[in-house]
Amino acid sequence: MSALTGRYEILLSGSGGQGIILSGIVLAEAGIAEGRKVVQTASYGPESRGGASRSQVILSREEIDYPGVISPNFVFVLTQLAADKYAHTVSPQGFVLADSSWVEAVPQNLPAPIIALRLSEEAASRFGMALFANVIGLGFFIERSGVLRAESVTEALARRVPKHYREANLEAFTFGRELAKQQSGQ
């Protein structure tokens, strides 16, 4: 995070349908609730499922001029393609989270730590769907970075996900936070 402006950059990338864009929206909405300036941008291909998908969020204490990510403090990759393309862009002060259910060759020698967890498999066995991997990742990220309060993210998450998946999403978020606590305890 830039000490001057408090600019904090987040880059989430995976495949269309993994919930990458929604995760970005949830973080941006939580940021607004905490009085931050926020920008969320996305890029994806013409297909609605599959294809490379990227969501970027910038949180800042000051007005955000350039809305693109320059040097992300947090990079979350859910496919091998995303890992190969974005893991190395992480800021030296940040960290990378990789879903090793999909990222088989975890990038090495990055400027910052990379944590590889089998998120999609965990999501499938605990919550019935691999789709919850992104929310587990969100919980992990919030717990480890402390950049936003867990309550703000929980509230935004509850607002943005379909009603009948709300409980499962909130549980997945909490599970992600637990994973981060276990990590830091190791």
Partner 1 sequence: MAQTLLLQGNEACAEGALYAGCRFYGGYPITPSSEIAEYLARKLPLAGGTFVQMEDEIASIASIIGASMAGVKAMTATSGPGFSLMQENLDLAAVTETPVVIVDAMRGGPSTGMPTATGQGDYMQARWGSHSDHPVVVLAPAGAQEMFDLTVKAFNIAEALRLPVVLLPEAVVSHIREAVRIPDPGEMEVIDRYQPDDYEGNGFFRRDERGLAYPPVLGSGFHPHYTGLAHAEDGFPSNDPGVVRKFVEGLNQKVAKNLDLVTDFEEEAVEDAEVILASFGVTGRACQHVARLLRKQGHRVGYFRPRIVWPFPEARVRELAHTADTFVVAELNLGQMRLEVERIACGEARVVGLHKVDGSMLEIHEILVKVNEVLP
- Provide the binding-site residues for partner 1, judged by CB under 8 A: 24-25, 28-29, 32, 37-46, 64-68, 70
The two tokens of residue 38 are 């926020």
The two tokens of residue 23 are 């995760």
Residue 90 CB, nearest approach to partner 1 (Å): 16
CA atoms of 170 and 166, how far apart (whole Å):
6
Distance of CA 162 to the CA centre of its chain: 19
Nearer to partner 1 by C-beta: 84 or 104? 84
Nearer to partner 1 by C-beta: 1 or 64? 64
Contact (CB, 8 A) for 174 and 153: no
Residue 169 CB, nearest approach to partner 1 (Å): 18
Nearer to partner 1 by C-beta: 44 or 165? 44
Residue 54 CB, nearest approach to partner 1 (Å): 11
Residue 118 CB, nearest approach to partner 1 (Å): 30
The two tokens of residue 64 are 């955000």
Distance of CA 11 to the CA centre of its chain: 7
Nearer to partner 1 by C-beta: 28 or 103? 28
**Going along 49-139, which residue ranges are E strands?**
52-60, 74-77, 95-99, 114-117
Enumerate the β-bridge partners of residue 117: 99
